[in-house]
Amino acid sequence: MKTVALLEELGCRYQIDIASGAGFEYYTGVIFQLYIGREKIGGGGRYDALIPSMGGGDVPASGFALYLDQLVKLVKPVTTATAEPEKILVRIKPDGTVKDALKAAEQLRNAGFIAVVGPANKVSAGINWSVDVTGSRALLTVTDLAADRKYEVSDIDKVIALIERQSDDKVSPA
């Protein structure tokens, strides 16, 4: 009755059927079946005598099986059409600081972009945007590498807004 107490404590719905073990002679204790609605998706139980009957030692045993064919039928695929985040290279200009570049990259990542920090003279494949960090905190140069357009903005929040707006324009039908 410990099993019943545990099921009730966990709030599980169960049904006890003393005739459900017919045909399963190897079971020696609790036998259970798992259902979702009316669909049987698995079952198992306690079978302490099974291993010795097959030549093994006197070993306590229990187990269960999930019926994958049944489970697969019940799973409803969910598709989410999310665009891949923009990839942005945060470039450190000669008069810029690593600290400012790392801070800008972190803010871009927090906004959902993929941001990498690198030298000012290198652009990797797959990078759509660059943000140049200079010693002058007044302006950041943002370059749309695909369209070869440059923008000067005053802070990273405006960089984020610009890239989001431009990316939405590229995705939206004309």
Instruction: Give the highest mean pLDDT range of 80-89, 141-150, 162-171.
Output: 141-150
Dist. CA 123–CA 130, nearest whole Å: 8
Total domain count, the chain: 2
Assess whether 110 and 62 both reside in one domain: no
Report yes or no on 157 lying in a domain.
yes
CA angle 92, 94, 95 (to 5 degrees): 95
Domain boundary residue, one of 14, 44, 74: 74
* pLDDT 10s digits, 5-15: 877 887 888 88
Asked whether the beta carbons of 153 and 144 are under 8 A apart, the reply is no
Which of 37, 59, 42 has its CA nearest to residue 50? 59
Indicate whether 52 and 96 sit together in one domain: no
Burial class (CB in 10 A: 0-12, 13-18, 19+), 91: buried
* pLDDT for residue 149: 92
Q: Do the domain assignments include residue 146?
A: yes
Q: Are residues 108 and 155 in the same domain?
A: yes
Residues 17 and 58 in one domain: yes
Specify the pLDDT at position 174.
Answer: 44
pLDDT tens column, 15-68:
877 766 666 677 888 888 888 888 889 988 888 888 888 888 888 888 999 999
Asked if 150 and 93 sit in the same domain, the reply is yes
- Judge if 92 and 160 occupy the same domain: yes
Note down the domain range covering 37.
Answer: 2-74
Cα–Cα distances in Å, from 49 out to 57, 62, 65? 10, 10, 18
Domain endpoint, select from 18, 43, 74:
74
State which H helix or E strand residue 130 sits in.
strand 129-133
Higher pLDDT, 45 or 2: 45
Once rounded to an integer, what is the mean pLDDT over residues 108-113?
94
Verify that 97 and 67 share a domain, yes or no.
no
pTM, two decimals, is: 0.50
CATH number at residue 145: 3.40.50.800
pLDDT of residue 81: 61
Q: Which residue has the tokens 């669909």?
A: 39
pLDDT at 136: 67
pLDDT of residue 67: 94
Whether 60 and 106 share a structural domain: no
Kindly state whether residues 28 and 70 are assigned to the same domain. Answer: yes
Higher pLDDT, 62 or 118: 62
Amino acid making up residue 35:
Y
In this model, does residue 80 exceed pLDDT 70?
no
Task: Tell me: do 94 and 159 sit in the same domain.
Answer: yes
Tens of pLDDT, residues 126-165: 888 999 888 766 678 899 988 889 999 888 999 999 998 8
Residue 65 falls inside a structural domain: yes
- Do residue 107 and residue 154 come from a single domain? yes
